[in-house]
Amino acid sequence: MPPTPRDFQHRPPLLFLPLTLLLLLLQLTPASASCDPAVVYDPTWGTPGAGKGAEELRAWLHSRASAGHAPKSYNDAYQLLETIDGFNASHVNVVYGGTAPRCRNGAYYGRTCEWNREHLWPQSYGVGESAGLTAGATPRSDMHALMPSRAALNSARGNRAFAQITADDARGTCAPGYAGCESPVCTPTACGVPGTAQHGSDMWTPPAEYRGFVARALFYMDVRYDGQEDNTHNLRLGDVLDRDTAGAGTFTFGVLSHLLQWHADHPAQAWELERNDAVCVQQGNRNPFVDKPELVTALYNTSPTSPTTSPSSPTTSPASPNATEATAAKPMPWINEMHYDNAGADAGEFVEVALPLDGPAAAQVSVTLYNGKGKAPYWGPALLSEAPFVRGEVVTFGTDGGGGGVALYSAARSGIQNGGSDGVALAVAGAAIQFLSYEGVIDGGVGGTAAGIVSTDVGVKEGATTAATTSLSLQGRGSGYPAFAWAAGVAATPGARNAGQTIDAPPSSGACLTPESSSPSATTAPSSPPASPQRSSGTKATLAGVGSGGHHYTFTVVVALAVTLVFYVGGLFRYYI
């Protein structure tokens, strides 16, 4: 019996199958027409021949880095990065060492995440709202230079330039009590392999396994964004940093000479090649310096050399203490406890800061409170040495107190904003070293002390059912902020040690450097830049399967088409047979 018109409403005829499959294929196809390097660098598009000058080569690289780029929204970055940087079913790789748990229940923005989005090229240097762009600017969500990071390490780095910290670098001495100075970024059980990120006054040295990757990501940003597209700036690398002081729309970041050395010393590993593929699947373009690393020397017209002097410091460094403070390798203070909301009328509101005794002077440390709605400070900067701050308990190290310690400063302050997305910034000598928020992220564009910095949500909050005698406080054991975790509902102890927190002496500053992290000798020639990685011909990132290093990719298109085909054929079988 032939089909009736009514039957077609419920059982799609065979002629509809190819069209439906085609539409599904188009929907699930990667953003780029092809992520195959052989196509992206097809000679018909031009080649970087020996006769080309630096600007001609830069233009060619810009065209290749831009080819197929279909930007994704910044709001989608959490989900996309979990795909790109997935370690296994439960964890993601984080840029400064180890792994972190995936976000839970689809809730992002720091509320149930231990990691957030780290801009390798800082937003304040030309890629975000703090540099005059809109929230949807393409470079702000470019996955080639955006990677998961432990929230505390993201905050600790701020907008410091990438450079090699050395034992002789007066401005770049590590601060053992704050960013980890060769101590684990996280515990082995929680994160896998510990990281060894270091920081100085205006510099940041990532773990060795990420230095080459960071360098090539910044080389990419240098050629990808020339300021000719709407809502972008001209980004350049150099040894002298500049945030468009001339008003010409050019932002210079670095430190280039150190990045060139890292590129030579740390060639792309299998996981970086796979990440380049995975980013292309998501946003449609490739990093040419991962595919063709020999072009780095050609572009910058120099072989990498080991710097004999410290890199030039930024004209302003809102994420770190000034050079004078850093020379003494002083451990940094941190925000340790706060209370801002409770049942009934707010009562007992305060903020507490832990200041190492061998850290900066109290007269140099200040606190500023921020209203997230207006992205503006509403109190401060208030110095720890002045009212309303009061010095409370001193937690000493060692039985005789001779091993140093930490002083706890608290300030009672009524009217602390109840959220959402309100925050507190901590600064040393006027330069922010920490910008925390609660009930959401203050996502750039703020003024005052924290200008140019995106806040880190502490992940816990207070509200209408909170007891007035409790607070948000750091818990756990360690020698600095990254070692602790925020908890809500803990008994408030302004000016006294937190219940559930043990503050230990920081590691010896002598452990700051390892042979791997030492700068190469100036008399030793660096290794030659690596040749282009060998890749299997015809490999497609969409069908990559499980790669080495724990990065997982899915067969999304193939599986979806197979399921659809089975569904349609099954339906046709039921109808026609």
Q: How confident is the model at residue 534 (pLDDT cuts 50, 70, 90)?
A: very low
Strands of 11-125, DSSP E:
91-93, 99-101, 115-119
Tens digits of residue pLDDT in 365-402: 999 999 988 888 999 999 999 999 999 999 987 544 44
Q: Which residue's entry shows tokens 């451990």?
A: 331
Tens digits of residue pLDDT in 224-236: 999 999 999 999 9
Tens digits of residue pLDDT in 315-373: 333 333 222 222 234 678 999 999 999 999 999 999 999 999 988 899 989 999 999 88
- What is the predicted pLDDT for the residue at 391? 95
User: Where exactly are the structural domains of the chain?
Assistant: 5-28+556-576, 37-318+514-544, 330-511
Tens digits of residue pLDDT in 52-91: 677 888 999 999 999 999 999 998 988 899 999 998 888 8
- What is the predicted pLDDT for the residue at 472? 96
Q: What is the mean pLDDT of residues 204-222?
A: 92
Contact 37, 291 (CB under 8 A): yes
Q: Which amino acid appears at position 103 of this protein?
A: C
Q: Is 482 exposed, middle or buried (0-12, 13-18, 19+ CB in 10 A)?
A: buried
Q: What is the mean pLDDT of residues 31-36?
A: 66
Q: How confident is the model at residue 45 (pLDDT cuts 50, 70, 90)?
A: low
Tens digits of residue pLDDT in 287-318: 999 999 999 998 997 554 443 333 333 333 33
Higher pLDDT: 172 or 91? It is 91
Position 410 pLDDT exceeds 80: yes
Lowest pLDDT segment from 65-69, 248-252, 416-420, 573-577 = 573-577
Give the whole-angstrom CA distance, residue 178 versus residue 28: 44
What mean pLDDT value characterizes the chain?
74
The torsion angles phi and psi of 565, rounded to 5 degrees, stand at -60, -45
Helix (H) or strand (E) holding 503: strand 501-503
Residue-wise burial string across 141-172, b where 16 or more C-beta atoms lie within 10 A, e elsewhere: bbbbbbbbbbbbbbbbbbbbbbbbbbeebebb
Position 463 pLDDT exceeds 90: yes
Per-range mean pLDDT, top range of 104-118, 451-465, 495-509, 530-544: 451-465
Q: What is the mean pLDDT of residues 450-455?
A: 80
* Whole-structure pTM value: 0.54
DSSP conformational letter for 345:
S
Helix (H) or strand (E) holding 411: strand 405-412
Q: Report, in angstroms and rounded to the nearest whole number, the Rg of the chain calculated over CA atoms.
A: 26
Higher pLDDT: 418 or 112? It is 418
- What is the predicted pLDDT for the residue at 52? 65
Lowest pLDDT segment from 239-243, 286-290, 429-433, 512-516 = 512-516
- What is the predicted pLDDT for the residue at 56? 87
Task: Give me the percent of the chain exceeding a pLDDT of 70.
Answer: 66
Q: Is 458 exposed, middle or buried (0-12, 13-18, 19+ CB in 10 A)?
A: buried
- What is the predicted pLDDT for the residue at 569? 52
Q: Is 516 exposed, middle or buried (0-12, 13-18, 19+ CB in 10 A)?
A: exposed
- What is the predicted pLDDT for the residue at 148? 93
Give the whole-angstrom CA distance, residue 161 versus residue 179: 15
Tens digits of residue pLDDT in 484-531: 889 999 999 999 999 999 998 865 433 222 222 323 333 333 444 445
Position 37 pLDDT exceeds 50: yes
560 in helix, strand or coil? Answer: helix
- What is the predicted pLDDT for the residue at 25? 45
Strands of 293-340, DSSP E:
334-339
Higher pLDDT: 108 or 212? It is 212
Give the whole-angstrom CA distance, residue 460 versus residue 467: 15
Task: Give me the percent of the chain exceeding a pLDDT of 90.
Answer: 41
Name 243's Cβ contacts closer than 8 Å, sequence gap at least 6: 124, 125, 126, 131, 251, 314, 315, 316
Give the whole-angstrom CA distance, residue 331 versus residue 357: 9
Give the whole-angstrom CA distance, residue 265 versus residue 104: 37
Give the whole-angstrom CA distance, residue 547 versus residue 550: 6
Higher pLDDT: 188 or 166? It is 166
Q: How confident is the model at residue 204 (pLDDT cuts 50, 70, 90)?
A: confident
- What is the predicted pLDDT for the residue at 455? 85
